[in-house]
């Protein structure tokens, strides 16, 4: 059931969390499927609903800085500098965990991923629940992340009772995940916070940014984030074999081909990366719901949020390679 984000409904959802049940809730990146992050039985319900392999660790969502110290150890000054600057926001920090966080949340890892989301409904829900909320994206394992309550309902509606509505996710791609090392900061997943913004704030710290395609965050598979329809980049498709009536096109800023495809989407007419990121999953959901057999996607310039967008598209394409 989709619930309007009234005070009453947020309190109702918070009671569910406290009672050990799962609730889907909005964040600025994508919708999350939340449970009490200190209750292992409650967290196990997330894996059940998502069909997710339990070796895949979850992000713990907090609503104020004091909770960061409850769940994790802070051992570098740059951790607080980044949190103060970018929270609430699309940045997840991987830190040594404290005992309060059970192993099921971290899949047995000694570290916990923590984030303060920039969405009023999420923040109130966490505050009213009185506990950090463990949540993955609210999609079935291996499918597209949801950026609206309707996306969640479509995938998980028959398995969960409460979906708090909070409109369309304004960022639209998952958070940037980083880990700290003596020698610098490691990007585990490019996401909603551009890596350039991190580099600008702490120029003295080295940013270790490997190949964004290799799975560095545990459980990040090469073919994650895939729509149910086959996806290819334009430059990888054999143009003689394409049937326009059975194909959807995903362009960056303008239509590139004269061909009229069955469905066409332009991520941002003005070439604005933020708008493109916010539209990415929405358009992929729309395209997979059109009667087509193939999605052709244009490559996006890999700067700023373009890195996260290309990461998601490449993973989607990998599923069908
Ligand atoms: O924007 C987001 O991050 C969204 C919203 C709901 O907050 N959440 C999200 O969660 O994308 P999920 O479960 O779909 O992806 C979490 C990623 C996984 O790839 C996982 O491997 C990584 O976080 N992760 C979690 N704990 C980790 C840890 N201790 N060390 C390294 N990676 C970790
Ligand atoms: Mg996910």
pLDDT tens track for 58-85:
999 999 999 999 999 998 889 999 999 9
C-beta separation of 123 from 114 below 8 A: no
Does residue 27's CB lie within 6 angstroms of at least one atom of ligand 1? Answer: yes
The predicted pLDDT at position 225 comes to: 66
The predicted pLDDT at position 215 comes to: 44
Gap from CA of 94 to ligand 1 centroid (Å) = 9
**What's the mean pLDDT when you consider all of the chain?**
92
DSSP β-bridge partners for residue 179: 94, 186
Going edge to edge, which strands form the sheet with 247-251?
230-233, 294-297, 247-251, 263-266
Is the pLDDT assigned to residue 246 strictly greater than 50?
yes
Is the pLDDT assigned to residue 212 strictly greater than 80?
no
Report the residue among 149, 177, 280 best suited for mutation to probe ligand 1: largest number of ligand atoms under 8 A from its CB.
177
Per-residue pLDDT, averaged over 119-125, amounts to 98
Does residue 32's CB lie within 6 angstroms of at least one atom of ligand 1? Answer: yes
Does residue 137's CB lie within 6 angstroms of at least one atom of ligand 1? Answer: yes
Gap from CA of 95 to ligand 1 centroid (Å) = 13
Cα dist. 300→175, 258, 264, 294, 315 in Å? 19, 19, 16, 19, 14
C-beta separation of 117 from 27 below 8 A: yes
Residue nearest to atom 15 of ligand 1 (CA): 136
Does residue 155's CB lie within 6 angstroms of at least one atom of ligand 1? Answer: no
Is the pLDDT assigned to residue 52 strictly greater than 80?
no
Confidence of residue 320 (pLDDT cuts 50, 70, 90): confident
Per-residue pLDDT, averaged over 22-40, amounts to 97
By three-state DSSP, how is residue 194 classified? coil
Gap from CA of 136 to ligand 2 centroid (Å) = 6
Confidence of residue 54 (pLDDT cuts 50, 70, 90): low
Per-residue pLDDT, averaged over 101-129, amounts to 95
**Least distant ligand from the CA of 218:** 1
In this prediction, what percent of the chain has a pLDDT beyond 70? 94
The predicted pLDDT at position 17 comes to: 98
Is the pLDDT assigned to residue 214 strictly greater than 50?
no
Does residue 26's CB lie within 6 angstroms of at least one atom of ligand 1? Answer: no
Is the pLDDT assigned to residue 224 strictly greater than 70?
no
Confidence of residue 34 (pLDDT cuts 50, 70, 90): very high
* Lowest mean per-residue pLDDT among 168-177, 206-215, 265-274, 282-291: 206-215
For 240, left (φ over 0), alpha (ψ -120 to 50), or beta?
A: alpha
């Amino acid at each position: 059931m989709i619930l309007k984000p009234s005070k009453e409904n947020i309190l109702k959802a918070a009671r569910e969390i406290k009672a050990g049940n799962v609730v889907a809730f909005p964040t600025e990146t994508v919708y999350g499927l939340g449970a009490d992050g200190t209750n292992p039985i409650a967290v196990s319900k997330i894996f059940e609903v998502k069909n997710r392999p339990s070796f895949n660790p979850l992000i713990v969502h907090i609503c104020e800085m004091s909770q960061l110290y409850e769940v994790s150890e802070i051992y570098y000054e740059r951790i607080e500098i980044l949190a103060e600057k970018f929270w609430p926001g699309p940045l997840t920090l991987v830190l040594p965990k404290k005992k309060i966080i059970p192993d099921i949340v971290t899949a047995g890892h000694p570290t916990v991923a923590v984030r303060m989301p920039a969405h009023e409904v999420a923040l109130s829900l966490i505050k009213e629940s009185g506990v950090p909320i463990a949540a993955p994206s609210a999609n079935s394992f291996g499918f597209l992340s949801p950026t609206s309550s309707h996306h969640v309902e479509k995938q998980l509606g028959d398995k969960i009772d409460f979906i708090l509505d909070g409109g369309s996710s304004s960022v639209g791609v998952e958070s940037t995940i980083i880990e700290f090392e003596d020698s610098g900061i490691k990007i585990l997943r490019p996401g909603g916070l551009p890596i350039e913004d991190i580099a600008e704030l702490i120029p003295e710290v080295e940013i270790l940014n490997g190949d964004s395609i290799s799975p560095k965050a545990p459980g990040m598979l090469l073919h994650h984030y895939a729509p149910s329809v086959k996806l290819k980049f334009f430059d990888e498709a054999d143009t003689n074999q394409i049937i326009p009536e059975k194909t959807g096109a995903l362009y960056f800023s303008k239509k590139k081909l004269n061909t009229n495809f069955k469905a066409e989407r332009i991520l941002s007419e003005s070439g604005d990366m933020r708008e493109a990121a916010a539209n990415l999953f929405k358009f992929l959901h729309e395209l997979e719901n059109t009667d087509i057999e193939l999605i052709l996607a244009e490559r996006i310039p890999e700067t700023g949020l373009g890195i996260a967008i290309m990461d998601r598209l490449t993973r989607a394409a990998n599923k069908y390679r």
